[in-house]
Structure 1
Amino acid sequence: MHNNHDDENQSAEEGRTGRRFVDAPPIDMAHLTRHTLGDEGIAHEVLSLFLLEVESARKLLPECNEKELLEIAHRIKGGARAVGAFVLADIAADIEDAPQDRSLVDEFLDMAEKVELYVDAISTDRRRATG
């Protein structure tokens, strides 16, 4: 007997796994540039505010209950999409869909660290370029 629910679960799992192996920067800077109308000052401010949210989430997620987890994931998902951190947004969406799967929290924490390191690296590069 063929079960459509099994196909949906398999597709969701393949989607979750597949998108994580895309060799792309943690933040789509072209998206952020469009979103901030090319204003580097605004882009920097938006990223700074987003990183504060990510830092807070990284501290809270390991110990929070399911309700708090859903709230944090929802908040981060929106902010991540706004700045172009699409993989992080997708992981947050996965957490919303399966808050009982604590392995997603580990994935989130790993990707959040990559986002933070990437932003730090591009900020350092820009400071060097402007002297």
Structure 2
Amino acid sequence: MAHTEAKGPADTRPVDLAHLSRHTLGNRDLEREVLRLFARQAEVAMRRLETATDPVVLRENVHTVNGSAKGVGAWKVAEAADTAERALLDGKTPDLAPLRAAVEEAGFYIDGLLES
């Protein structure tokens, strides 16, 4: 999985590969496994979010996606999860469409990385 350093804040890739590399100490096999786990966990959490009605379950799953996204450098996912978390903390029903879109974008990106 060859990749270049991130370009900084203007970088628009769904996953900040430089961030991921720092957290995995440059171990490419570990990067691949972490990405695989993130993509799988995010999809499971999104399925739970789509059927959940209990605010506690919603909050737990959004928080899980948020933490995982920050760990791998999926900043768009983390930003959308932050927005959903704030809505839930304010007692509102979050719009999960931006989170779903960000998770899907990251998933497609990760699939492409794992295939290479």
TM over 0.5: yes
Specify which structure has the higher proportion of helix: 1
Question: Structure 2 regions of 5+ residues with no counterpart?
Answer: 1-9
SS of the equivalent of 1:24 reads: coil
Question: Structure 1 regions of 5+ residues with no counterpart?
Answer: 1-21, 127-131
- Mapped pair 1:102 → 2:94: yes
- Mapped pair 1:58 → 2:42: no
Alpha-carbon distance, 1:108 to partner: 0.6
Alpha-carbon distance, 1:54 to partner: 0.7
- Could you tell me how far apart the structure 2 residues matched to 1:23 and 1:46 are? 21
Tell me the TM-score normalized by structure 2. 0.82
Alpha-carbon distance, 1:101 to partner: 3.7
- Could you tell me how far apart the structure 2 residues matched to 1:92 and 1:53 are? 14
What is residue 32 of structure 1 aligned with on the other side?
A: 20
What is residue 112 of structure 1 aligned with on the other side?
A: 103
Which one-letter code corresponds to 2:84 in the other structure?
A: I
- Could you tell me how far apart the structure 2 residues matched to 1:25 and 1:61 are? 25
Which one-letter code corresponds to 2:64 in the other structure?
A: R
Which one-letter code corresponds to 1:29 in the other structure?
A: L
Determine which structure has more spread, i.e. the larger CA radius of gyration. 1
Which one-letter code corresponds to 1:64 in the other structure?
A: A
- Could you tell me how far apart the structure 1 residues matched to 2:12 and 2:105 are? 11
C-alpha offsets along residues 94-114 of structure 1, whole Å, 9 cap, x if unaligned? 1111022432x1111111100
Q: Is the alpha carbon distance of 1:47 and 1:98 closer, same or farther for their aligned partners in structure 2, counting shifts above 3 Å?
A: same
Paired positions, count: 103
The alignment yields a C-alpha RMSD, in angstroms, of 1.4
Which one-letter code corresponds to 1:60 in the other structure?
A: R
SS of the equivalent of 1:34 reads: helix
What is residue 73 of structure 2 aligned with on the other side?
A: 84
- Could you tell me how far apart the structure 2 residues matched to 1:23 and 1:41 are? 24
Tell me the TM-score normalized by structure 1. 0.73
